[in-house]
Amino acid sequence: MTAYLAHFLVMVGIYSILALSLNLLIGFSGIFSLAHAAIYGIGAYASALAALKLGVGFWGGMAIAAAVGALASALVAIPSLRVAGDYYVVASFGLQVVMLAVFMNWTDLTNGHAGLPGIPRPNLLGWTIDEPFEYVFLAAAFALLTWAVCRRLTRSAFGRVLQAIRDDEIAAQAMGKNVVLVKIVVACISSALGATAGSLYAHYITYINPSSFALHESIFIATLVILGGSERLAGPVVGAFVLLAIPEALKFLAIPDTVAAPMRQIIYGALLVLFMLVRPEGILGRARARMR
């Protein structure tokens, strides 16, 4: 039971990082992305490969993961965010599809569907973090660090520009703000943070394969932000805790796996519809005046 609880808390920490980083785009910038699972996977594979093939260890692998994640995001953001509209949504969807194909088919690098086993656990000053609750503290520390980074960004002048762009991009541009540069920078920051979650996941599970980074995972991460409440940093964390608790609760109902998986998806969909009707700002989101 202790190991089970520790695993749940570790995953809450990892998904909190993913949701917080995506909230920089959705909640504070008004940019919707469908590629966060791809960024998550890029971080996982980059860190795992750096550890297995280069021997750089967890910390070096995480730095590489953040850099590669930011670079991948920049390659999509630079052409797509230069124009107004929903081009980034389409471009991010393309990144998601392309990266999943790379994970599955570049077998010399990723080992395809067989995945990468034997990823080493994190090591700190000679101390290997291999106990479940030790990893809880590590995941919690990185989640707290991500929260602090997001808080600092959103409360700075840069964050105010982001919110101005979200509310009225043309007005922000008229005030002399470099809208394109700001959007590209926040996309890279969001991806760098999301990639660190992939590194944490890879070194925690010690095995990764492409199934963990498919499109449905991107949709799930976006759901954490929407249901938890965007525009507030605590919202995605609450969303991660609540939505990860649902499948765990189903396990105690002795429901067969063949029924539990589709039931989980039905519950997620029903919650989305319910919140859009009753509280579209999410659990902790800021309520706005509604048009009558």
pLDDT at 187: 94
Instruction: Note whether residue 266 is domain-resident.
Output: no
Measure the CA–CA gap between 233 and 170, rounded to whole angstroms.
26
Going by the DSSP 8-state scheme, the letter that residue 290 receives in this structure is: P
Beta strands 123-124 and 127-128 are antiparallel
Q: Residue 257's pLDDT is what?
A: 67
Tokens 């995945």 map to which residue? 115
Question: Residue-wise over 35-44: b if at least 16 C-beta within 10 A, else e?
Answer: bbbbbbbbbb
Instruction: Please count the structural domains in the chain.
Output: 1
Please give the residue range of the domain that contains residue 20: 2-216
Q: What is the pLDDT of residues 183-220, one digit of tens each?
A: 999 999 999 999 999 999 999 999 999 999 999 899 99
- Burial, 55: exposed, middle or buried (Cβ in 10 Å; 0-12, 13-18, 19+)? exposed
Asked if the structure places residue 257 within a domain, the reply is no
Percent of the chain predicted with pLDDT > 70: 93
Decide if 161 is inside a domain.
Answer: yes
Residue 191 lies in a domain: yes
Alpha helical stretches, state H, the chain: 2-26, 36-49, 57-80, 87-105, 107-110, 132-154, 157-167, 169-174, 179-205, 215-228, 234-251, 257-278
CA angle in degrees (0–180, nearest 5) for 146-234-227: 115
Is 260's pLDDT higher than 90?
A: no
Identify the weakest region by mean pLDDT among 139-148, 166-175, 210-219: 166-175
In a domain, 190, yes or no: yes
End-to-end Cα spacing for the chain: 51
> What's the whole-number average pLDDT of the chain?
88
Is pLDDT of 289 > 50? no
237 domain residue, yes or no = no
| Domain assignment of residue 278, yes or no | no
pTM as predicted: 0.91
Distances (CA, A) of 253 to 57, 207, 248, 259, 261: 41, 29, 10, 11, 13
Find the mean pLDDT for residues 10-36. Answer: 93
Q: Is the pLDDT of residue 86 over 80?
A: no
Residue 169 has pLDDT above 90, yes or no: no
Strand partners, 123: 128
pLDDT (0 to 100) of residue 130: 80
The tokens of 28 are what?
């504070």
Examine residue 260 and state whether it is found in any structural domain, yes or no. no
